[in-house]
Chain A
Amino acid sequence: MVLSEIVTSGPDFFYLAPWVVFFPVIGLLINIIFGGRMGEKAIGTVASTASGLTFVVAVLLVLSLRAHPEGATIPLAEWIAIGDLQIDWAFRVDTLSVTMMMVVGGVGTLIHIYAIGYMHEDVRYKNDPGRYQRFFVFFNLFIAAMMILVSGDNYLMLFVGWEGVGLCSYLLIGFWYDKDTLGRYSIDNAQAGKKAFITNRIGDFGFLIAGFLMFWAFKSVQFDTVFEAAHHIAETQTGMILAITLFMLLGVAGKSAQIPLFVWLPDAMAGPTPVSALIHAATMVTAGVYLVARSAPLYTLVPAAQGTVALVGGITALFAATIAVGQYDIKKVLAYSTISQLGFMVAAVGMGAFVAGMFHLVTHAFFKALLFLSAGSVILGVERGHHHAAHGHHDEHDDHAHDHEEVFDPGDMRNMGGMRKTMPVTFWLYLSGTVALAGIFPFAGFWSKDEILAEASALNFTVYILLAIAAFFTAFYMGRQIWMVFFGEPKHEAAEHAEESPPVMTVPLMVLAALSILGGALNLPGVGTFTHWLEHTYDKFSAMHLHHGEFNLTVAITSTVLALVAIGISWMLYGRKPQTQGQPDPLKRILGPIFTGMENKWWIDELYWAVILNPYIVIARFTADVIDWRFWHDWFHDKVIAGSFQWFSRTFLDSWVDQRGIDGFANGLAEGTKELAQRLSGIQTGFVRNYALSVFIGVVVILGYLILQ
């Protein structure tokens, strides 16, 4: 572009939009083809650069949008065109999609860089350095798929990304597909990946049905066409928009881990920590929130759907927060926390507070990525300490690390303690993520969560109560975690010998920490930068008017007090008098069976096994073994059909008709056939011959009738 043009009309880099997908694809192709000959550093650099370039493109798109806020659609090619069905590969550049690109590209790149260091160690602890290359191929593939999801100009292209990120999630959860989370040989991790994929497919079923309904109602699945006609359809086809939005909600529940489909996300922690941070916290799982925000012109037409979405979000937020309280694995706590925070976002976009929901999506990406990566740093630190302790002082290399007699879980918080001394950098990083998540003034989470709560207090009081309690639990379980991990005395020699992580891991974390601390500035009350930014996307649709969430001091003070009280209680239980190893959780004494429920995730997995999975397996086996095989294949076909035919041919035709009647006539033919068959194959049962004979007779009779009649 010519410089003078930029000066006069502002930059216009919209045409670069497809490169947010092309760059990571190029990156992964380079790593597939040349990765085997490149070193780890080069592989990681290529992947990080590819991801970094998408961020550069996103920044250029932001600049262009400031000059041309109406955005653009960049068509690439025709994809599926059958009759009225016209679906293109086309990229949508507007403030909403570019917000997502910034998050995916920005946070994605930081996590790529962190992973260079993390995976270097991880593949060595797991004794398979060959998998380093594979990790970055999958990671780039994820960026590509996620970018397709957020930049698609129609629902079907969004769906391509939607299932594409699901595939990457499957591959990366099962990255150590021959191990369990403790590094022992097992099918567990692979199982977790499959669970994620299939649970998501249930959600995708809803997405597909929504797509079909949409096509037959609108004759299009392109965003603008659908949104512009939505009003008209709402008036002419009662219930249509409601059906579309509710089926879509099923998809949202799958991808964004909401009730009833949230069960896959905790298991997804089997993936390496950078995966948990990027895919299962910062980006992929927020796709459902994005989908509702994108479909705002549809949802705002049907209050019943909005209420349902908000309620699902609110209940999930609280439900998952209670489970987080009862977990001992450092990543599991964060996983349930993620489900809970996604509940906040879903509730927000459900209520119609799209800006608040998207705002929380952005800040959550910062602080939850920070928390997960810091947790990864903690886990590796403990792992280092464990190796240090296990190997004593001799430096011999152990190729059979997994053969340790003792099974050690480096992620179990009950083994930790006192780590603020051994890993001070990580401690401060973790702490800044925690205060942001707990919603302490003036950190990022405070502003975004508060905006959601303020909107809820005005729009949907039931949901407000649910979210406020969930916020209380959030502060509590994060407090519990901080005390258990970083304070008190080490409860295992591994924690005692834990070592700090290298700068390649901690520096990206510092960037994320800065964002977690300052991210609230994006949308300060009264300034509303982010609100004005997103307005450009929504203003196009006359039916839409964005809520300008008012700052509500009562709500802000209430939630701050709640958070501080929760942290106080967590200190009384876990901080004041640190536990010793093997001591049961203090909450167990107080809450008894309720805590057992939290510990066991309210037995939801068990429930699904009993109600859905086991019955399906039983039915499938019964259908296969009994109905299809023993009844249909063996009995009906072999006994009834073949058996009676054999009787018919051997007894009736062969001995009565053939030998007495037609033998003379057919002898030559039959003998010829017989000889030929014998020579060709050696297969001769007499069965085929009789069959051929009866066919022959039948055809002669019928032909004779037809010709002579």
Chain B
Amino acid sequence: MNPVLHPLTLVTFFPLLGVFVLLFIQPERKNAQRWTALITSLITFGISMWLLAEFNAKDPDLQMEINLPWIQVAGWNISYYLGVDGLSILLVLLTTFLTPISILSTWTAIEDRVRDFMLFFLLLEVGMTGVFLAQDLFLFYVFWEFTLVPMYFLIGIWGGPNRMYAAIKFFLYTMAGSLLMLLAILWLGIYQGTFSVPELIAKGGIPADIQLWLFLAFAAAFAIKVPMWPLHSWLPDAHVEAPTAGSVILAGVLLKMGTYGFVRFNIPLFPVAAVKVAPWMALLAVIGIIYGAAVSYAQKDIKKLVAYSSVSHLGFVMLGLFALNPQGIQGGILQMINHGLSTGALFLLVGMIYEQTHTRDFAVYGGLWKLTPIYGTLMLIVVLSSMGLPGLNGFVGEFAILLGAFGSAAIGSPWYAGFAAIGVILAAVYLLYMFQKMFLGPEGSVVEEVKKLGHSIKDLNKREIVTLVPILVLIFWIGLYPKPFFALIAPAVDKLVAAVQSAAAVAMY
């Protein structure tokens, strides 16, 4: 097949076509730029649907691989190697799904330098999709670092008052971790003679003590991205300052790059180390769950509350992944998607009211449900999804994760999952607190404030509803009938679990 028309190449780089078109649209023709970006991202989503149709859910291995030599100097063997399997297919779809939604959410929110905004947004999509598809470590690293640049500008140019600080902190913090990963990648490339992930996994044979160091070097990059407690300090800044669409993508996809990294690289490349550190990862995850929930509850800023809730939610994902059993890992991967949907929707919803009120301070809100019944109802559904109400998506993932972690041999004790389950109570505490502060009780002072500006608070318009409906459909779908989603994940996870178990068994005897 022509490498350019290969489905994986297409789905990754198609947004570049939109970037190219954007360059030729005059800066003042804002709607044309918006439509260009939206249509580009929709076509990209269409391509990812084609990918899904071609995808063989029963096959546990990489599919639709494309592997071309790229940089071949001094014995280095770097290739343009893309492939998709059950670990990544849903994340690719999540990326192509959330990008058009985010673009649609900027329709009236972004008025300033629309072309540049859309340009960076599409570039960001290229980077993210590439991260989930790259099967060559060097290529992965390039995509990984590449995503930093557009995000840096999205926060730094279109962000809130403290955007410079947040953008630089985001950039430096994540890059610092990546450097350690780069070292580990170079070590692997030099001593194992290849950067190809499947080859590295097949080769194996890295001594246990070196595995541990390499594991930690990769983990440094990923743990910052997730972010795992206590490396979360960049997150509230980035989220609070980022424009709505940036927050949606940040929470929805970029954080998943971290958790994905663990499941794609750390666990299969260094299985012995993974088993060894599993209880420690679980410990950090559980601390993150409780800590994130408590800190969320104490926030006075709506966006910050949602930001810290990610620390708690992604703690669940990490706990599931390091349960190293099918329930935990499948639950963890599904929960990545769930978190992308529900937290993405939360940021969208918060952005929609912020556009009208220009404040995120809880103290001034109250009684909105009466004024904006559609907005209130949709927020309620998303809040319930986020707190894991059975019948909605969050529960399925959380339940599988906790169940897996509870009986995990690698974690070794049910106490971790037991404490993590307290996070389920605390999630209800901070999310219902948020819902109550904004929507229940008598009208807050913000209603008067907005009136003074000469307009009143309006319910969601058609565009905003259209933005949210696809997410809501998935919230119910995954909650009631997650079978098709698990079916995509299952074979690859089973293979991974089997590989980890045999590697760990070999290491022991």
Interface on A for B, CB 8 Å cutoff? 77-83, 85, 128, 156, 159-160, 162-164, 167, 170, 174, 177-178, 185-187, 190-191, 194, 197-198, 201-202, 204-205, 208-209, 211-213, 215-216, 616-617, 619-621, 623-625, 628, 632-633, 636-637, 642, 680-681, 683, 685, 687-688, 691, 695, 698-699, 702-703, 706-707
Whether A78 lies near B432 (C-beta < 8 A) is no
Given that A80-B486, A159-B390 are known contacts, is A205 also in contact with B299, CB under 8 Å in the complex? Answer: no
Top 3 closest pairs, chain A to chain B, by CB: A624-B298, A190-B440, A187-B441
Whether A624 lies near B299 (C-beta < 8 A) is yes
Contact of B186 among A616, A617, A703 (CB under 8 A): A703
Whether A208 lies near B421 (C-beta < 8 A) is yes
Given that A85-B400, A209-B418 are known contacts, is A79 also in contact with B481, CB under 8 Å in the complex? Answer: yes
Q: Closest CB-CB distance, B505 to chain A, in whole Å?
A: 18
> In the complex, A286→B399 CA distance in Å?
25
| A691 neighbours in B (Cβ, 8 Å) | 172
For A32, give the chain B residue with the smallest CB separation: B377
| B297 neighbours in A (Cβ, 8 Å) | 617, 620, 624
> In the complex, A292→B424 CA distance in Å?
23
> In the complex, A4→B223 CA distance in Å?
69
> In the complex, A703→B179 CA distance in Å?
12
> In the complex, A687→B439 CA distance in Å?
43
Contact of A177 among B156, B175, B327, B369 (CB under 8 A): B369
Question: Does B428 sit within 8 A of A, measured CB to CB?
Answer: yes
Given that A190-B440, A624-B294 are known contacts, is A687 also in contact with B183, CB under 8 Å in the complex? Answer: no
Whether A174 lies near B233 (C-beta < 8 A) is no
| Chain B interface helix/strand/loop/mixed | helix
Whether A201 lies near B428 (C-beta < 8 A) is yes
For A87, give the chain B residue with the smallest CB separation: B399
Question: Does B94 sit within 8 A of A, measured CB to CB?
Answer: no
| B391 neighbours in A (Cβ, 8 Å) | 160, 163-164
Whether B417 lies near A212 (C-beta < 8 A) is yes
List 8 additional contacts besides A85-B403, A163-B390, A205-B424; criterion CB under 8 Å: A78-B483, A185-B442, A198-B432, A623-B294, A636-B233, A683-B168, A695-B179, A706-B186
Question: Does B436 sit within 8 A of A, measured CB to CB?
Answer: yes
Whether A83 lies near B481 (C-beta < 8 A) is no
Contact of A178 among B182, B236, B308, B367 (CB under 8 A): B367
Whether A681 lies near B153 (C-beta < 8 A) is yes
Whether A82 lies near B486 (C-beta < 8 A) is yes
Contact of A209 among B169, B396, B399, B421 (CB under 8 A): B421
Given that A187-B441, A212-B406, A212-B417 are known contacts, is A202 also in contact with B186, CB under 8 Å in the complex? Answer: no
For A203, give the chain B residue with the smallest CB separation: B425
> In the complex, A81→B168 CA distance in Å?
44
> In the complex, A177→B389 CA distance in Å?
21
Question: Does B422 sit within 8 A of A, measured CB to CB?
Answer: yes
| A706 neighbours in B (Cβ, 8 Å) | 186-187, 190
Given that A623-B294, A625-B298, A683-B167 are known contacts, is A205 also in contact with B422, CB under 8 Å in the complex? Answer: yes
- Please encode chain B, from 327 to 349, with 1 for each CB lying within 8 Å of some chain A CB and 0 for all others: 10011000000000000000000
Residue picked from B298, B480, B494, most chain A C-beta under 10 Å: B298
In the complex, 21 of the A-B residue pairs with CB atoms within 8 angstroms, ordered by the A residue number, are A78-B483, A79-B482, A80-B396, A81-B486, A82-B330, A85-B403, A163-B391, A178-B440, A178-B443, A187-B441, A190-B440, A197-B432, A198-B429, A208-B421, A211-B403, A212-B414, A215-B407, A623-B295, A683-B164, A685-B164, A688-B171
Q: Closest CB-CB distance, A657 to chain B, in whole Å?
A: 19
Given that A78-B483, A681-B157, A683-B167 are known contacts, is A201 also in contact with B421, CB under 8 Å in the complex? Answer: no
| B407 neighbours in A (Cβ, 8 Å) | 212, 215-216
Whether B390 lies near A164 (C-beta < 8 A) is yes
Whether A194 lies near B325 (C-beta < 8 A) is no
Whether B183 lies near A702 (C-beta < 8 A) is yes
> In the complex, A699→B294 CA distance in Å?
40
Contact of B424 among A81, A187, A208, A642 (CB under 8 A): A208
Given that A80-B399, A80-B400, A620-B297 are known contacts, is A85 also in contact with B327, CB under 8 Å in the complex? Answer: yes
> In the complex, A167→B392 CA distance in Å?
12
Q: Closest CB-CB distance, B342 to chain A, in whole Å?
A: 16
Whether B402 lies near A178 (C-beta < 8 A) is no
Whether B153 lies near A202 (C-beta < 8 A) is no
Given that A82-B490, A191-B436, A205-B424 are known contacts, is A212 also in contact with B298, CB under 8 Å in the complex? Answer: no
Whether B440 lies near A632 (C-beta < 8 A) is no
> In the complex, A524→B295 CA distance in Å?
57
Question: Does B506 sit within 8 A of A, measured CB to CB?
Answer: no
Question: Does B203 sit within 8 A of A, measured CB to CB?
Answer: no
Whether A187 lies near B440 (C-beta < 8 A) is yes
| B243 neighbours in A (Cβ, 8 Å) | none
| B308 neighbours in A (Cβ, 8 Å) | 624
Given that A167-B384, A178-B370 are known contacts, is A197 also in contact with B428, CB under 8 Å in the complex? Answer: yes
Whether B424 lies near A201 (C-beta < 8 A) is yes
Q: Closest CB-CB distance, A415 to chain B, in whole Å?
A: 26
Contact of A83 among B169, B298, B326 (CB under 8 A): B326
Q: Closest CB-CB distance, B138 to chain A, in whole Å?
A: 13
| B326 neighbours in A (Cβ, 8 Å) | 82-83
Given that A209-B421, A695-B175, A698-B179 are known contacts, is A177 also in contact with B400, CB under 8 Å in the complex? Answer: no
Question: Does B53 sit within 8 A of A, measured CB to CB?
Answer: no
- Please encode chain B, from 163 to 204, with 1 for each CB lying within 8 Å of some chain A CB and 0 for all others: 010011101100100010011001100100000000000000
| B483 neighbours in A (Cβ, 8 Å) | 77-79, 81
Whether A702 lies near B399 (C-beta < 8 A) is no
Q: Closest CB-CB distance, A633 to chain B, in whole Å?
A: 5
> In the complex, A79→B393 CA distance in Å?
12
> In the complex, A702→B182 CA distance in Å?
11
Considering only residues 462-509 of chain B, those with a C-beta below 8 Å from chain A are: 480-483, 486, 490, 494
Contact of B440 among A177, A616, A620 (CB under 8 A): A177
> In the complex, A128→B442 CA distance in Å?
14
| A620 neighbours in B (Cβ, 8 Å) | 294-295, 297-298
Q: Closest CB-CB distance, B246 to chain A, in whole Å?
A: 14
Question: Does B230 sit within 8 A of A, measured CB to CB?
Answer: yes
Whether A208 lies near B156 (C-beta < 8 A) is no
Q: Closest CB-CB distance, B467 to chain A, in whole Å?
A: 20
Residue picked from A167, A201, A625, A698, most chain B C-beta under 10 Å: A201
Question: Does B74 sit within 8 A of A, measured CB to CB?
Answer: yes
Question: Does B291 sit within 8 A of A, measured CB to CB?
Answer: yes
> In the complex, A164→B389 CA distance in Å?
8
Q: Closest CB-CB distance, B426 to chain A, in whole Å?
A: 9
For B387, give the chain A residue with the smallest CB separation: A201
Contact of B442 among A77, A167, A178, A194 (CB under 8 A): A178
| B418 neighbours in A (Cβ, 8 Å) | 209
> In the complex, A623→B297 CA distance in Å?
10
- Please encode chain B, from 293 to 329, with 1 for each CB lying within 8 Å of some chain A CB and 0 for all others: 0110111000000001000000000000000011100
Q: Closest CB-CB distance, B303 to chain A, in whole Å?
A: 14
> In the complex, A632→B237 CA distance in Å?
13
| A642 neighbours in B (Cβ, 8 Å) | 169
Q: Closest CB-CB distance, A197 to chain B, in whole Å?
A: 6
> In the complex, A687→B390 CA distance in Å?
48
Whether A186 lies near B442 (C-beta < 8 A) is yes
Whether B490 lies near A628 (C-beta < 8 A) is no
